[in-house]
Structure 1
Amino acid sequence: MTASPRAPIIGIAADDVTGATDSVVQFFRSGWSSRLLLGELLPESVEPGSALAVNTDARAMDPVSAREATARAVAGLITAGADHLYLKVDSTMRGSVEAQVAGALDAWQERHPGCIAVVCPAYPAMGRTIENGLLRVNGSPIEDTPAGRDPVTPVPTSEFSALLPGTTSISLSGSPKKDAQALRDAANGRVVVVNAASDDDLRTLAAALVAAGPTAVPAVPAGSAGLAAAMAEAWAQAAPTLTPPEAAPAALGQRIVVVVSSLHDVARAQTDYLREQLDPENLRILQPDDSLLDQPNRLHQWAAGELEYPQTLPRVVIVLSPEAVGGSETLSGAAVARSLASVVQQMLDSTEVGALVLVGGDGARAVLDSCSAEALRITGAIQEGIPVGVVEGGSAAGKIVVTKAGGFGPVSALLDTVNELTTTLAQSTEASS
């Protein structure tokens, strides 16, 4: 008797937490049971039809560290049973992308000799496109956008020949088998970049990648949430029936805490807009002075004073990094994020919180780590680029968490998120009462 084919297990290695959730939510939308894993150990047994994302924190690492971190993450996903791999890189090519691609291939080729990487960070829904080997955001060269001025990982050029030296950029024909071979021919045994200016282009690439692998012409897709969405759909269509994901649980409170660790211009503008639009009676800002960030005891004392009467905290609380960290020049973005996370933890210990909105990858990682969260089970998306899930394990178990990359979305994105969460929390409370 022939065994029934099982659905594959998708492994997603991402360079930060918000990118991981933004990618794995695309698999949720296509019917995969989807989680961001946060613990040190991966599960020994994972159900077929699962999509598992892990965070490498590789974006701001030096090339050697980024390559090693990505290889370790991919090796862990293989141990957990992943037989398909997606490498999530920044849609604007910030950070150590070249090293991340190399690390993913280092580990994946142990199971799939001769594998290649197919790089396409285009995300047309968010204005990111690749045309004639050039990376653009809303039509502008990447170096002329906020990503080009990123305070941690600026992108100096839009030319992929410089961003990924030694690669060529190709366009596909729409014939999956021919395109699969074209990817192999153009990769020169290692990496190829694919042009994409529309969602149709991404679907064409996904069809070619399904035809290419993971065993015939083993190819690892590397891109943003845009390509992740196309791959999730294409792999689902090629798989046996998937088990429907679990429903979201009832909310645990009404208060919304927005944590903005990102220093990106877009994140700051969205925060300012949120502050302008909300009724002051419904809003509280907790923004520690930069001189407190490297003084844990003083920061704790400051937060204790701000939270002395937790019952008076309004419906929305914003925990915001200082405009500048001149007094803490030796602190990394991750260290600043950990300081903000300690303030959030004090709030969770003292008052009821229904949802956390985490803006910026470092901040999302720090807050979830401070809560000892084991996983984030994805339950949907508020809008493109803003996934939502529920914490599993740790002191924040059961709380709703929304993650958002600092550089994504319209100026109203945070206001829209808070408004939708307010409705969701109210409906959940009514349903459970």
Structure 2
Amino acid sequence: MKIGVIADDFTGASDIALTLAEAGMSVAQFIGVPSDDSDPDLGAGVVALKSRTAPVADAIATSLAACEWLLRQGAEQIVLKVCSTFDSTPQGNIGPVLDALADRLQARGVPVCPAFPENGRSVYQGHLFVQDRLLNESGMEDHPLTPMTDPDLRRVLAAQSARAVQHVPRATVMRGPSVLAEAMGEDAHYIVDAITDDDLLEIGAAARGMPLLCGGSGIALGLPVNFNVTSRPPTWEPVTGPGVVLSGSCSRATRAQVEHYLAIAPHRQIDVRTVLDGSTTVDDVTAWVLSQDTAPLVYSSADPDVVRAAQAEFGTERAAATIESFFSSLATELVTRGLTRLVVAGGETSGAVVTGLKAEALTIGPRAAAGVPLVRAGKTALALKSGNFGGETFFADTLSLMEQSA
């Protein structure tokens, strides 16, 4: 293994796994820290954790355990994969985990860049943009668990980290890898500007030999070439059979996807209150899904005001855990009853679904959208979508793509 990735959620793990696979690396995505060794011919291993909103101590412990396993597999470089919107709170978990990994790997300068230009994420003058909006004007300010109210990544990371946080402007990035590497020579985390894929390739070249990086999937664009890997597309064998869409994300993009799919498919909304009072059950929803001729939509996605009202009534953690547990049990029951195609929207929802399915590793297939690959767990085809990714027709398009070879 050449590159080891520690991802703080399941959709992010699939995202960076796709980037590495499209660059030609042999990649496997592992669900949690594996107990056994990997295939010795594997080029990159991506360990998917559910640590983004976990207690800080737990996030550090599981991330360090993943790091130790990846190092035992021979990984020469570790990437901490975080969301391209840098989802976190003033307490973490990006800063504390990054500090712990830097200490373990004795990393001096650590490049930090969540830019993903293909999906409209760019970093300029240390500030994170989503399309043409600053992060705090992009809808992420309404995230139910990690509201992002400050677009200045220097301030965001400094509030979480015990290390110095510095900035590398794009003018330095454009001067080439050697100048960029020299600019990151002190013991610090470096927020690095990037607004194009070429910028990310420069960061990748500058990171040759560095033990640790942090960023979105885009930061991996320039890494495989350091290990003499050439590009090749992932393959896919068709998966047919019944399908379903499970959506727990409340992002703007997902809400638009939900609205589009409501017009063309059967749908059923899940509410925290009815799950808690027992009027909505996994058995009832399973029976309803199985009775549909078209892949239906089961969703809890709602406007931010609705989410805030549920959080105020039931508590943020309880509301989130209730929905995640419901989707986890529902996915398990549906697959047991013969469903073979699942499209899942939302990082926390995806984590709950994959955990419920007890998948240990996922095979990476071709892209369904930028940052979203098709993946396979045994005979089940999955697409694990970060909330803000994909166009309005993503659900229907992806269910169809699962049935095609590539």
Give the TM-score category using the shorter length.
0.7 to 0.9
| 2:157 corresponding residue in structure 1 | 164
Find the aligned partners of 1:9 and 1:381 in 2 and give their Cα distance. 23
Q: CA deviation at 1:248?
A: 3.3
| 1:414 corresponding residue in structure 2 | 395
Find the aligned partners of 1:180 and 1:68 in 2 and give their Cα distance. 30
Instruction: Give 1:229's aligned amino acid.
Output: L
Aligned 1:368-387 pairs, distance under 5 A? 368-387=354-373
Q: CA deviation at 1:250?
A: 4.5
Other structure's SS at 2:221 match: helix
Aligned 1:310-349 pairs, distance under 5 A? 310=290, 312-321=291-300, 323=302, 324=306, 326=310, 328-329=314-315, 331-349=318-336
> CA, structure 1 residues 349+366, in 2 after alignment: closer, same or farther (shift >3 Å)?
same
Instruction: Give 1:206's aligned amino acid.
Output: G
Is residue 87–residue 104 contact of structure 1 (8 Å, CA) maintained in 2? yes
| 1:357 corresponding residue in structure 2 | 343
Other structure's SS at 2:54 match: coil
Identity of aligned residues (%): 23
Aligned 1:32-47 pairs, distance under 5 A? 32-47=25-40
> CA, structure 1 residues 22+132, in 2 after alignment: closer, same or farther (shift >3 Å)?
same
Is residue 27–residue 51 contact of structure 1 (8 Å, CA) maintained in 2? yes
2:381 maps to which of 388, 400, 406: 400
Q: CA deviation at 1:60?
A: 1.7
Matched residue pairs, number? 389
> CA, structure 1 residues 300+43, in 2 after alignment: closer, same or farther (shift >3 Å)?
same
Find the aligned partners of 2:156 and 2:383 in 1 and give their Cα distance. 31
| 2:161 corresponding residue in structure 1 | none
> CA, structure 1 residues 57+162, in 2 after alignment: closer, same or farther (shift >3 Å)?
same
Other structure's SS at 1:164 match: helix
- Give yes or no for the alignment of 1:291 onto 2:273: yes
Instruction: Give 1:223's aligned amino acid.
Output: G
Find the aligned partners of 1:39 and 1:13 in 2 and give their Cα distance. 10
Q: CA deviation at 1:263?
A: 1.9
| 1:154 corresponding residue in structure 2 | 147
Q: CA deviation at 1:224?
A: 0.6
Find the aligned partners of 1:69 and 1:130 in 2 and give their Cα distance. 28
Is residue 260–residue 392 contact of structure 2 (8 Å, CA) maintained in 1? yes
| 1:248 corresponding residue in structure 2 | 236
Gaps of 5+ in 1: 1-7, 392-396, 429-433
| 1:133 corresponding residue in structure 2 | 126
Gaps of 5+ in 2: 159-163
Q: CA deviation at 1:356?
A: 0.9
Find the aligned partners of 1:304 and 1:354 in 2 and give their Cα distance. 14
Find the aligned partners of 1:241 and 1:414 in 2 and give their Cα distance. 31
| 2:204 corresponding residue in structure 1 | 206
Find the aligned partners of 1:180 and 1:141 in 2 and give their Cα distance. 27
> CA, structure 1 residues 39+147, in 2 after alignment: closer, same or farther (shift >3 Å)?
closer
Is residue 42–residue 77 contact of structure 1 (8 Å, CA) maintained in 2? no
Q: CA deviation at 1:26?
A: 0.7
Is residue 200–residue 218 contact of structure 2 (8 Å, CA) maintained in 1? yes
Other structure's SS at 1:402 match: strand
Find the aligned partners of 2:52 and 2:260 in 1 and give their Cα distance. 28
Instruction: Give 1:146's aligned amino acid.
Output: G
Find the aligned partners of 2:54 and 2:353 in 1 and give their Cα distance. 20
> CA, structure 1 residues 356+240, in 2 after alignment: closer, same or farther (shift >3 Å)?
closer
Other structure's SS at 2:115 match: coil
Is residue 117–residue 190 contact of structure 1 (8 Å, CA) maintained in 2? yes
Other structure's SS at 1:418 match: helix
2:244 maps to which of 245, 250, 257: 257
Aligned 1:40-79 pairs, distance under 5 A? 40-79=33-72
Q: Deviations over 1:165-196 (max 9, x none)?
A: 24221132443223211111xxx402111111
> CA, structure 1 residues 39+95, in 2 after alignment: closer, same or farther (shift >3 Å)?
closer
Is residue 259–residue 356 contact of structure 1 (8 Å, CA) maintained in 2? yes
Q: Deviations over 1:68-127 (max 9, x none)?
A: 3322322232233322211111111111595435424534544x4344321011111111
Is residue 59–residue 96 contact of structure 1 (8 Å, CA) maintained in 2? no
Other structure's SS at 1:230 match: coil
Q: Rg larger in 1 or in 2?
A: 1
Q: CA deviation at 1:295?
A: 5.8
Instruction: Give 1:255's aligned amino acid.
Output: P
Q: CA deviation at 1:314?
A: 1.6
- Give yes or no for the alignment of 1:223 onto 2:215: yes
| 1:266 corresponding residue in structure 2 | 253
Q: Deviations over 1:376-432 (max 9, x none)?
A: 1101212212211110xxxxx2211111101123323333323433x52xx69xxxx
